[in-house]
Structure 1
């Protein structure tokens, strides 16, 4: 009998403080652990530091009050960097938030 360690994904929320307000970003990560989330308001981005033990994914639900990308009241496209390289992601857009599912490889440390 061979036992395998399996890390179940759990939907969790983390609080982000931006300009004196606190907002919750919910996330679900598989095969990894979210270490920290740091807003970079100069670059209008979020820096996610993760510990990826295997190939996996993270799904983030980001309220528009935390991070939004619009041009002339139309949604602009996000882009994602995984350890500095442009990464693929899926996105669901609503009037209140944007949900991104980002794949990562084992050993990934930063997603922006």
Structure 2
């Protein structure tokens, strides 16, 4: 074989191998979520496959080509690294995609994107929802929601629940002003009890911010993708109160009639 051809093949092989190694980065990067609002804590983490002694990870954070944050992060012995950023301050004024770029050693680069929404551009909706209460007509529930929209509110009298169906485009929060006349959670002595809150079948905590004589105000956090929020109390739209009273009256009347007939027979 001609020596020029041989060395040419070797050169091509070396270049190809070098290109392959350059494409395979020794470092990875990610964030703990894909969407953030102003004030959120962003956890950036990753791992290097080969630890280079005393070499830190250089992190850069950009939006629209502008540098938002820069840091040098120490790599642990197992190759992992982590960095926390608070999404607030003058550099966090623009909504949109933010790019995390990490560099390690020579030519080892990894990138990751997330979206950010400042407080001024967060969509917060406050309005009333008219709930169908069956034979009782309707009743209004005032609510405020951030991170989604309310699609429907349904009464489930079998489990004494108000089911709020939401379209959660992001992690968010909903505050509901629940009228005591139609839904509540009470102990036997008439004092307030806690509600049971389920989101897609999983029990979650809630906060009660205000207690009024005619309503209770509760706040529930939800995650992106959540759909059904069940608020379970001890009563919901007393539809069966009238029926129960009618049954009781019928029972009393039947007892009176039977008693009267009994005395008439004895006479």
TM-score by length of 1: 0.91
The yes-or-no answer on 1:26 pairing with 2:142 is: yes
The yes-or-no answer on 1:106 pairing with 2:231 is: no
- What's the CA shift string for 1:57-88, capped at 9, x where partnerless? 10000100120111221111111001111111
State which structure, 1 or 2, has the greater radius of gyration over its C-alpha atoms: 2
1:74-93 equivalences under 5 Å are 74-91=191-208, 92-93=210-211
Q: CA RMSD in A?
A: 1.5
Alignment partners' CA distance in 1, 2:202 and 2:211: 23
Give the gaps of 5 or more residues in structure 2: 1-63, 65-93, 97-116, 231-267
Q: Which has the higher contact order (CA 8 A, sep 6+)?
A: 1
1:2-81 equivalences under 5 Å are 3-4=95-96, 6-18=121-133, 19-71=135-187, 72-81=189-198
Alignment partners' CA distance in 2, 1:30 and 1:107: 14
Alignment partners' CA distance in 1, 2:155 and 2:211: 20
Q: Which moved more, 1:85-94 or 1:5-14?
A: 5-14
| Higher helix content, 1 or 2 | 2
| Higher strand content, 1 or 2 | 1
Residue 94 of structure 1: aligned partner: 212
Tell me the CA shift for residue 21 of structure 1.
Answer: 3.2
